Chains A and B, each alone.
Chain A
């Protein structure tokens, strides 16, 4: 392409001054942008007010689009389900019988558990959700893993509340607008979730590494503790996440850490429940327990 005419502005002093002013504004605006980035590191609270307003504006658009996406996925699933309905019916009936038996066992265990807990005096807060919404968009081109929720402060959502689907944990709320909220997903590298293994209660921490996998590190220095297939749930340590929410399943294990996939899939257009911040009252129970005289072995019958 031919070289473009230079922006000299000719000999007119006004045109040259206009050009100079344009450059000044460009450089000043660029430096102002750098200044805004630095304030986002130093003062995150004031920085997020403008972003909250923008998610309020764009969340309804994403919400409408995501229901269309969910409808298209549902149509394909319905067709393939009709095709294999006959053979599936027989195998599903067998599974249902086995599952029913296990459900009865699980229910009786749950009742026994509740009775034991009442005996110990630990009060667990009822995990009723604050709000129910949907995860309407994520950030496919940004470097952080955010999700946008289509419920906001009018429904009672506040910062630091955890968000889960019926399957498992999505993440926690970091910014709340009037009708929308921004979630930091657990696959983001800035999110650390304290967890424990379901089978034996091994404590660990789960951090995202940014590409969809989660890094699980146990809190002890013993090596070779984890193997593929281990399931980790939140432990309630730290006070943000309610305990016993499924988080991850291990797929690859190394000596001192393991890599897992999140159990909850944010791309499945699922319903998202916003849970209140978990502040265990166990610390109060421990204090009152220490004040009482110790229970004798013969009396605990």
Chain B
């Protein structure tokens, strides 16, 4: 798919043409895209098993690995609150998990200063796996059985969807920095 070099060059490209469009700040686009990703939980689709990847989390992690200082550390908690309200998980699951994942990604940056596309993909995959499994654990009542294998298709689809979301976020970032 997207190779390492192409991805890096897309991120750091210089402006080649000057186009006259209204300037949009990257922070606005980041906030709007993450909230829109969380809102995919209310699309009118009735599913018999959890199948849709958590697009809010994927977008949030994509913005984190692309522009680490764009969103502050505590923004994970607020985005998590919005995601909980929309998706129907107990309020606090996404607040806790997105906040903890955001702090974990931040501290992992110390040990891996040079990151490429595949490293970002691994970060996104691990984050969505941890989020899906722990949100299911928080949401289970103890009456039914918690079967991790049930979420395996959702985890695989999230890992495959991560590069698509990262490509979209890169496109939004280029729109913000190349008015």
Contacts across chains A and B counted by CB atoms under 8 Å: 195
Which chain A residue shows the least CB distance to B132? A143
Please report the C-alpha to C-alpha distance between residue A189 and residue B99 in the assembled complex, in whole angstroms. 28
Given contacts A139-B87, A210-B49, A210-B150, contact A1 B92 (CB under 8 A): no
**Residue interface mask A145-182, B partner, CB < 8 A = 1:** 11100000000000000000000000000000000001
The answer to whether the Cβ of B163 comes within 8 Å of any Cβ in the partner chain is no
**27 A-B Cβ contacts within 8 A?**
A2-B114, A4-B69, A25-B73, A26-B77, A26-B102, A29-B95, A33-B94, A36-B91, A37-B96, A47-B90, A50-B85, A54-B86, A66-B44, A138-B47, A139-B50, A139-B87, A140-B45, A140-B51, A141-B50, A142-B41, A142-B89, A146-B88, A190-B140, A208-B144, A209-B147, A211-B48, A267-B45
Interface residues on B, range: 35 or more
The answer to whether the Cβ of A219 comes within 8 Å of any Cβ in the partner chain is no
Chain A residues whose C-beta falls within 8 Å of the C-beta of B147 in the assembled complex = 209-210
Which of B48, B77, B95, B116 sits near A145, CB closer than 8 Å? B48
Interface residues of A in 182-204 (CB under 8 A from B): 182, 187-190, 192
Given contacts A26-B73, A26-B76, A210-B150, contact A144 B88 (CB under 8 A): yes
Interface residues of B in 7-60 (CB under 8 A from A): 8, 11-12, 40-55
Which chain B residue shows the least CB distance to A261? B48
- Rounded to whole Å, the gap between the CB of A189 and the closest CB of chain B is 2
Binding site for B on A (CB under 8 A): 1-5, 7, 22-23, 25-27, 29-41, 47, 50-51, 54-55, 58, 61-63, 65-66, 68-69, 135-147, 182, 187-190, 192, 207-212, 266-267
